[in-house]
């Protein structure tokens, strides 16, 4: 069996939809760069009665799930190690371990990070170990996040389909109907400003480029695509500008707070009722529940507002896979664990309780811990909204191998535009140029799409 890493000149094929929707991507040439993994994956033979030891890196507190595995699978012991959930911490540590030749067997890797790991041959080709047979166990668009050049490189874990968290009591107090469109949402924001005694509809968070990407994703923008062996960057397109101009207007007319979300100031506004809504991912339920317990029973969840009436288009914020890094000596056992932890009903319920996101396992929602009325949301079966949202995600969105740098620059540009009274839409043209430069710095062919 050929377990060598994928060719550096292999054409990257990846898709965010069904297998039939696979599209050709660029060659990951990265001329002049060294391969990131110091050793390649191979399967070691174990003697009868010998226990296999695996190491799993994650930032989600899934120790109870791992303990359950260890109790029920005595031949394969997994040690979970907690890592930071950020580029400078967790991913830097992963890349360093690959370079040093001492990686963990498994690691949690977000979907938007996968192309960067592929660029340095950091992931194991799981098709060599039978992963293709597991395809039907997962939501198709999440499965395709880890498919490159027709081969499987990760097992999907969870995602973040978007919805509208809102305070039903405040909406009723101010005479606001649940917004069906973004135009409705803006009108509602004007009502909140007029009647809310210092409250605002929501916050615009310049620290969340991933959130802004999700807004553009829903609008139909495509920030990167490929043409033969070239990356085409299109962050300054008309649709992304429309989204940016919408939020510029919300900021200019003082209809939103401008502050980082998931922060102390933001939580204070959530707790006090000064923020009436949050456009957020399914995993945001735990943030609201854990940080604003005094608002229990007052929240509801609705579909995302639409850009055009009658549509139902959603987007995703976040999402991770369970990756088997290049260099493991037990890929088959690691694959067995990765599949179990993401599909076993007991494991998924424990993972949900730990806050790992919307499960990637197909059909597991019904009968799970998510499938019940929730007192915090006034008895609403609010996850029905996210089930519909997950089905409505446009699956043609793709990520580039420089997403981290692109996001950092987008965050800086938005922060500067707000501080200096500039334009969010105007910042997109500069970010487009920088993204092209980021790709070229990796030795990849890239140009602006317009």
* CATH code for position 53: 3.40.190.10
Q: How confident is the model at residue 49 (pLDDT cuts 50, 70, 90)?
A: confident
Torsions phi, psi of 73, nearest 5? -135, 70
For residue 5, pLDDT over 80 is answered with no
Distance CA 169, CA 295 (A): 10
Tell me: do 331 and 284 sit in the same domain.
no
Write phi, then psi, for 81 (nearest 5 degrees): -120, 130
Q: Global pTM?
A: 0.89
Note the pLDDT of residue 21: 29
Domain count, the chain: 2
Residues 338, 180: Cα–Cα separation, whole Å:
39
C-alpha dist (Å) from residue 393 to 20, 238, 315, 432, 440: 16, 20, 5, 24, 30
Report the half-sphere exposure of 130 (CA within 13 A, side-chain side): 8
CA 449 to chain centre: 25
Same domain, 304 and 343: no
Q: Which of 30-44, 95-109, 135-149, 287-301 has the lowest mean pLDDT?
A: 30-44
In a domain, 384, yes or no: no
Confidence band of 7 (pLDDT split at 50, 70, 90): very low
Question: Residues of 294-314 as b/e, b for ≥16 C-beta within 10 angstroms?
Answer: ebeebbbbbbbbbbeeeeebb
**What confidence tens digit (pLDDT) does each residue in 130-181 have?**
999 999 999 998 999 999 989 999 999 999 999 999 999 999 999 999 999 9
Q: Does 6 score more than 60 pLDDT?
A: no
The whole-number pLDDT of residue 28 equals: 52
- Is 383 a domain residue? no
Q: Is 377 a member of any domain?
A: no
Q: Residue 22's pLDDT is what?
A: 30
Q: What is the pLDDT confidence band of residue 86, given thresholds at 50, 70 and 90?
A: confident
Backbone φ, ψ for residue 152 (5° rounding): -95, 130
pLDDT at 27 over 80: no
Pair (410, 264) in one structural domain:
yes
Looking at the structure, tell me whether residues 192 and 65 fall in a common domain. Answer: no
Pair (272, 136) in one structural domain: no
Mean pLDDT for the stretch of residues 38-56: 92
Query: The tokens of 244 are what?
Result: 């940016």
Average pLDDT for the chain:
91
Q: Quick check: is 252 in a domain?
A: yes
Q: Does 71 reside within a domain?
A: yes
- Reported as a pLDDT band with limits 50, 70 and 90, residue 394 is confident
The residues that bridge with 447 in the sheet, in sequence order, are 232
Distance CA 233, CA 408 (A): 16
The mean-pLDDT minimum among 68-72, 83-87, 179-183, 242-246 falls in 83-87
- Among the three residues 371, 405, 439, which one is the final residue of a domain in this structure? 371
Look at residues 379, 376, 378, 215 and name the one whose alpha carbon lies nearest to residue 304.
Answer: 215
Instruction: Give the pLDDT band (50/70/90) at residue 35.
Output: low
For 196-230, the pLDDT digits (tens) are 999 999 999 999 999 999 999 999 999 999 999 99
2 within domain boundaries: no
pLDDT digit string, tens, across residues 405-416: 999 999 999 999
Asked whether residue 241 carries a pLDDT value surpassing 60, the answer given is: yes
Token pair belonging to 8: 């550096």
Looking at the structure, do residues 231 and 276 belong to the same domain, yes or no?
yes
Confidence band (pLDDT; 50, 70, 90) for 395? confident
Distances (CA, A) of 429 to 19, 40, 225, 449: 33, 40, 17, 12
Q: Which domain range does residue 221 map to?
A: 160-312+397-448
6 in any annotated domain? no
Question: What confidence score (pLDDT) does residue 67 get?
Answer: 98
Does residue 49 share a domain with residue 164? Answer: no
- What angle in degrees, to the nearest 10, is found between the helix axes of 403-419 and 424-441? 150
Query: Is the pLDDT confidence value at 433 over 60?
Result: yes
Given a cut of 80, whether residue 108 has pLDDT beyond it is yes
User: Are 417 and 287 members of one domain?
Assistant: yes
**For the chain, percent of residues with pLDDT exceeding 70:** 92
Does 169 share its domain with 285?
Answer: yes
302 lies in the same domain as 341: no
Secondary structure string (H, E, C) spanning the chain? CCCCCCCCCCEEEECCCCHHHCEEEEECCCCCCCCCCCCCCCCCCCCCCCCEEEEEEECCCCHHHHHHHHHHCCCEEEEEEECCCCHHHHHHHHHHHHHHCCCCCEEEEEHHHHHHHHHCCCECCHHHHCHHHHHHHECHHHHHCCEECCEECEEEEEEEEEEEEEEHHHHHHHCCCCCCEHHHHHHHHHHHHHHCCCCECCEECCCCHHHHHHHHHHHCCCCEEEECCEEEECCCCHHHHHHHHHHHHHHHCCCCEECCCCCHHHHHHHHHCCECEEEEECCHHHHHHHHCHHHCCCEEEECCCECCCCCCCECEEEEEEEEEECCCCCHHHHHHHHHHHHHCHHHHHHHHHHCCCEECECCCCCCCCCCCCEHHHCCECCHHHHHHHHHCECCCCCCCCCHHHHHHHHHHHHHHHHHCCCCHHHHHHHHHHHHHHHHHHCCCCEEECC
Given the structure tokens 């939501």, which residue do they identify? 139
Q: How far apart are the C-alpha atoms of 114 and 85, rounded to whole Å?
A: 15
Torsion of CA 163, 352, 98, 100, to 10 degrees: 130
User: Mean of the pLDDT values across residues 11-26?
Assistant: 34
Same structural domain for residues 269 and 408? yes
Question: Can you give the pLDDT at residue 26?
Answer: 45
Is 380 within the bounds of a domain?
no
Closest listed residue to residue 414, CA positions, set 208, 144, 174, 113: 208
* Distances from the Cα of 339 to the Cα of 72, 106, 138, 333, 428, angstroms: 15, 12, 10, 10, 39
Lookup result for tokens 């391969």 = 35
Q: Is the pLDDT of residue 378 over 50?
A: yes
- Residue of 266 and 20 predicted with greater confidence: 266
Same-domain pairing of 344 and 425 = no
């Amino acid at each position: 069996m050929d377990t060598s890493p994928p060719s550096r000149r292999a054409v990257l094929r990846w898709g965010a939809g069904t297998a039939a929707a696979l599209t050709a991507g660029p060659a990951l040439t990265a001329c002049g760069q060294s391969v990131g993994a110091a050793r390649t994956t191979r399967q070691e033979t174990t003697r009868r009665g010998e226990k296999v030891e695996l190491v799993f890196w994650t930032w989600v507190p899934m120790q109870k799930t791992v303990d359950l595995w260890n109790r029920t699978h005595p031949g394969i012991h997994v040690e979970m190690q907690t890592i930071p959930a950020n580029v400078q911490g967790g991913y830097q540590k992963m890349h360093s371990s690959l370079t040093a030749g001492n990686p963990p067997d498994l690691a949690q890797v977000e979907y938007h990070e996968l192309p960067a790991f592929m660029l340095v041959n950091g992931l194991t080709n799981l098709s060599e170990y039978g992963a293709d047979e597991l395809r039907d166990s997962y939501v198709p668009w999440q499965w395709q996040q880890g498919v490159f050049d027709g081969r499987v490189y990760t097992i999907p874990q969870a995602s973040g389909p978007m919805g509208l968290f809102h305070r039903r009591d405040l909406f009723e107090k101010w005479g606001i109907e649940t917004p069906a469109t973004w135009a409705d949402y803006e009108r509602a924001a004007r009502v909140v400003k007029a009647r809310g005694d210092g409250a605002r509809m929501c916050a615009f968070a310049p620290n969340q480029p991933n959130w802004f990407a999700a807004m553009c994703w829903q609008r139909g923008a495509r920030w990167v695509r490929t043409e033969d062996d070239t990356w085409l960057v299109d962050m300054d397109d008309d649709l992304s500008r429309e989204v940016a101009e919408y939020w510029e207007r919300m900021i200019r007319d003082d209809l939103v707070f401008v502050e980082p979300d998931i922060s102390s100031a933001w939580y204070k506004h959530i707790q006090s009722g000064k923020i009436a809504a949050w456009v957020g991912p399914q995993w945001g339920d735990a943030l609201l529940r854990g940080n604003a317990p005094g608002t229990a029973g007052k929240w509801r969840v609705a579909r995302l507002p639409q850009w055009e009436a009658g549509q139902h288009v959603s987007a995703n914020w976040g999402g991770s896979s369970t990756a088997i890094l290049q260099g493991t000596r037990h890929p088959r056992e690691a694959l067995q664990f990765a599949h179990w932890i993401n599909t076993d009903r007991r494991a998924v319920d424990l993972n949900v309780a730990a806050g790992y996101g919307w499960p990637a396992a197909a059909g597991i929602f019904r009968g799970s811990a998510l499938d019940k009325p929730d007192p915090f949301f006034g008895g609403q079966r609010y996850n029905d909204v996210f089930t519909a949202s997950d089905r409505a995600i446009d699956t043609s969105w793709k990520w580039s191998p420089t997403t981290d740098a692109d996001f950092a620059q987008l965050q800086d540009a938005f922060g500067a535009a707000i501080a200096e009274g500039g334009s969010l839409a105007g910042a997109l043209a500069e970010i487009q140029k920088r993204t092209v430069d980021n790709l070229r710095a990796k030795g990849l062919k890239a140009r602006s799409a317009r």
